[in-house]
């Protein structure tokens, strides 16, 4: 389940006849749990997860605490004040739910693009889009800046800056991929 949308995820175990080992069939979609959306998610001829450089999905990250933004748009000033820099992976969280979640403004998405961040990520307490809009997806994905959705435990980070990685499956044709997101604070 992602946000309030119910998504199919089935795991069926079987015995592989050739050697008697246990294996699983997994039937789901690419937007289940923590996942990274790539340009192909939004653009017909966009890059798939296998076409973006591996370095896109790891590097220096900054956690942006937006607790003070209850039901307000996220602004460029919020990002600049948090120390977002060129090449960063930007992870946003607020602790709010439902209609109290802050949402990304078009101006903030434009600022992230101009700052040339590497990737953004959100937990369920942040709205990537304002209602009835796809402007953030358009601005970021059109410019090869992936979006991670479904992150968790961002409120447990002890540092604002750290090394982060969220590696997708390298499968051609996938618009998005499940990831295992890891923050390394002691490096």
Under DSSP, the state recorded for 126 is S
Contact between 2 and 123 (Cβ < 8 Å): no
Q: Which of 61, 169, 173 is nearest to 121 (CA)?
A: 61
Task: Name the active-site residue from 2, 31, 35, 41.
Answer: 41
**Is 137 in the active site?**
no
What single string gives the DSSP state of each residue in 151-179?
Answer: E--GGG-S-SEEEEEEEEP--TT-SEEEE
Cα–Cα distance measured from residue 76 to residue 81, given in angstroms and rounded to the nearest whole number = 8
Q: What are phi and psi of 82, to 5 degrees?
A: -80, -5
Cα–Cα distance measured from residue 33 to residue 108, given in angstroms and rounded to the nearest whole number = 25
Cβ-proximal residues to 1 (8 Å cutoff; 6+ apart), any chain: 7
Query: Tokens standing for 19?
Result: 């050697």
Residues serving a catalytic function are: 41
């Amino acid at each position: 389940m992602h946000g309030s949308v119910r998504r199919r995820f089935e795991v069926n175990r079987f015995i592989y006849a050739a050697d008697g080992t246990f294996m699983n069939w997994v039937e789901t979609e690419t937007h289940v749990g923590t996942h990274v959306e790539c340009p192909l998610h939004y653009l017909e001829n966009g890059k798939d997860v296998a076409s973006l450089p591996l370095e896109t999905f790891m590097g220096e990250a900054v956690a942006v605490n937006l607790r003070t933004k209850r039901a307000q748009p996220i602004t460029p000033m919020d990002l600049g004040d948090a120390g977002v820099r060129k090449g960063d992976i930007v992870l946003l969280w607020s602790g709010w739910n439902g209609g109290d979640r802050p949402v990304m403004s078009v101006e903030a998405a434009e600022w992230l693009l101009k700052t040339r961040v590497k990737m953004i990520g959100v937990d369920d307490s942040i709205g990537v889009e304002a209602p009835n809009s796809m402007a953030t997806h358009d601005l970021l994905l059109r410019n090869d800046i992936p979006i991670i959705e479904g992150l968790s435990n961002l409120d447990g980070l002890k540092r604002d800056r750290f090394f982060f990685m969220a590696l997708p499956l390298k499968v051609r044709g996938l618009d998005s991929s499940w990831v295992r997101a890891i923050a390394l604070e002691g490096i």
